[in-house]
């Protein structure tokens, strides 16, 4: 089963994910430790990728 790495947007096989992070009851899979670390740093930013908010926007 393919999943999307929310940080870099890469599609990876679940079994091949290097890291797995649980956030708000959902599981996220990452292609590398780097991506997982970025996610842990700022999960809010990556967990809502379904709804585009634009980059560096004010709010
Ligand atoms: Zn990645």
- Please give the pLDDT value at position 16: 96
Beta strands 26-30; 11-13: pairing state: unpaired
Give the distance (Å) from ligand 1 centre to CA of residue 35.
Answer: 5
pLDDT tens digits for range 2-59: 999 999 999 999 999 999 999 999 999 999 999 999 999 999 999 986 555 555 555 4
Cα separation of 26 and 6, whole Å?
A: 12
SS3 25: coil
Instruction: Please report, for the chain, the start and end positions of each structural domain, with discontinuous segments joined by +.
Output: 2-47
- Please give the pLDDT value at position 48: 81
- Please give the pLDDT value at position 4: 96
Q: Tell me which residues have their CB within 5 A of the ion that is ligand 1.
A: 5, 8, 10, 31, 35
Give the distance (Å) from ligand 1 centre to CA of residue 27.
Answer: 14
Cα separation of 54 and 21, whole Å?
A: 24
Residue with tokens 């890469």: 10
- Please give the pLDDT value at position 32: 98
């Amino acid at each position: 089963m393919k999943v999307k790495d929310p940080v870099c947007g890469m599609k990876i096989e679940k079994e091949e994910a290097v890291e797995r992070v649980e956030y708000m009851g959902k599981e996220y899979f990452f292609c590398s430790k780097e991506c997982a670390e970025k996610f842990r740093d700022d999960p809010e930013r990556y967990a809502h990728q379904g709804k585009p908010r634009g980059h560096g926007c004010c709010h």
